[in-house]
Amino acid sequence: MKSLRVLAALTCVGMISACSFAPKYQRPEPPMPQAFTAAASDSTIPDRWWTLFNDASLDSLVDEALAKNQDLAAAAARVEQSRAIAGVAKAALYPEITASGSASRTQIPDTQLSTAAGRENPFNSFDLLGNISYELDFWGKLRNANKAARNQMLASEEGRRNVELSLISDVITTYFDILSQDRALSVSLDTQDSRRESVRLQRLRYEAGAISQLDLSQAEAELAATEATVPVFERDIRQTENRMAVLLGRVGGSIDRDKGGTAIDSIASPNIPVGLPSMLIARRPDVMSAEYAMIGANANIGAARALYLPSIGLTGYGGWESDDLSKLIMKDTDVWQAGLSVFQTIFAPGRTQRQVDLAWGQYRETLANYVGSVQTAFADVEDALVARRSNVLIRAAEDREVTARDTARRLAQIRYDAGESSYIEVLDAQRQLFQAQILQAQARRNELAAFVQLFQALGGGWQTDEQNKARYRVAGEAQEQTR
């Protein structure tokens, strides 16, 4: 009968200790379409998605940035801090065991000396004790605090991933900026050489009396205008290379064009799947970070609610005490104590309720942040899709314009040489071709940057639908692992 009572008591304790006052977590379902486009697609994009541009120099730059960028290093350090904080919270779930030892020699007044026979004064005292303390987590306070800390760690890791994704995107876009500026500088230098030759020929014609000084002055003015663009592009290239150096964790330096530097026209345009499931939004680092923060805030509600109930702890110690070091560890010198403590706040006007209100407010904030991150992510993807489509069309139009402008320049030169038009017509055609070539380089840069924008908006590479669903469930499963 006694054994049955003990078993019943242990069963009750086990049931109570399984209690948790945290609300049951359920992922919100913000309204969103099933896909960004009508058609479905099962295409996959690798995690190293930047390799789809098929440029060895770009791959090398991204690898260098991932290894040496200081913002990414700082983000990794924040993850380490969060992991340590989570470890501290988890340690509270287990008993704390300590050991202590002491030795002393004490002199007391004879009037206070014990009447026990053989008592010496001064006397020695030696002890070797083990101590244990353990808070019984009946109400789930410690488990919920552990869950909150763990999800904060996961949110920090997703924050690091977000920094990494932004870094990769910045490196690629900056690389395309440099290639576009290289192309613009090359066009300027070629145009400058062409106009210097034109000035030379016009001067010969002027000296021969074949043309007026007006034609010569116009040719010299166009040459000066072109020469003024060269230092502008050289300055832009240098400043962009300095920006790239910071991303790469360098102090100054430039990209070595002799080792894989690529013309912007030869960069491959990645193939993007026709249909993109909206599930991809959920795996963005910022969205996942927001959800982990929300799970942690939900757990904090349980920890705050548990403050209404008493804290119950077990304490004890055991060891040996003796006035003779040689006889310290013996059967008749052992000491021990076991105790049960209960702590309950009796009067703290509104404090616990305010802590619960605070936890609920923090949860509602994280909920709003999560829903907002999903909405922002959807807008980012839609913007990137629109930018990709429009920039492809713009670049194609610029290509056609350059072809037409080059033909117009050639025909204008033929007409001028035949005496059928003025030199103004030739200069206009040259100027329009020059501007079109500069815009062509920028349009190609914008087209490639739009692909980067789309990859970033979707959180990098993406896998099959089943793989995406598995990744989407990670946040929900994480909170189960900390129960």
Q: What is the pLDDT along the chain (483 residues), one digit of tens a residue?
A: 444 444 344 444 444 455 667 888 877 776 666 555 533 345 677 889 999 998 888 999 999 999 999 999 999 999 999 999 899 888 888 888 889 888 888 887 766 666 554 567 777 888 888 898 888 887 888 888 888 899 989 999 999 999 999 999 999 999 999 999 999 999 999 999 988 998 998 899 888 888 888 888 988 998 999 999 999 999 999 999 999 999 999 887 777 654 444 688 888 888 776 556 667 777 889 998 999 999 999 988 888 888 888 888 888 888 888 877 777 787 778 888 888 888 888 877 888 889 889 999 999 999 999 999 988 888 888 888 889 889 999 999 999 999 999 999 999 989 988 888 888 888 889 899 999 999 999 999 999 999 999 889 888 876 554 554 555 455 445 444 444
Three-state SS at 196: helix
CATH architecture designation of domain 20-98+139-310+350-481? Up-down Bundle (1.20)
Cβ(295)–Cβ(367) below 8 Å? no
pTM: 0.81
Taking CA atoms, 261 is separated from 73, 201, 266, 307, 448, in Å, by 27, 36, 11, 63, 16
Three-state SS at 424: helix
How far apart (Å, rounded) are the C-alpha atoms in residues 465 and 42? 7
Instruction: Sketch the domain layout of the chain as residue ranges.
Output: 20-98+139-310+350-481
How far apart (Å, rounded) are the C-alpha atoms in residues 58 and 61? 5
What is the helix (H) or strand (E) element at residue 195, kind and residue range? Answer: helix 141-207
146 DSSP β-pair partners: none
Q: Which residues contact 462 (CB under 8 A, 6 or more apart)?
A: 44, 45, 280, 283, 468
Read off the tokens for 455. 């990859």
Q: What is the largest CA-CA distance in the chain?
A: 138
What percent of the chain is helix, strand and coil (3-state, nearest 5)?
65, 10, 25
Q: Phi and psi dihedrals of 126, rounded to 5?
A: -130, 140
How far apart (Å, rounded) are the C-alpha atoms in residues 438 and 264? 12
Read off the tokens for 153. 């760690």
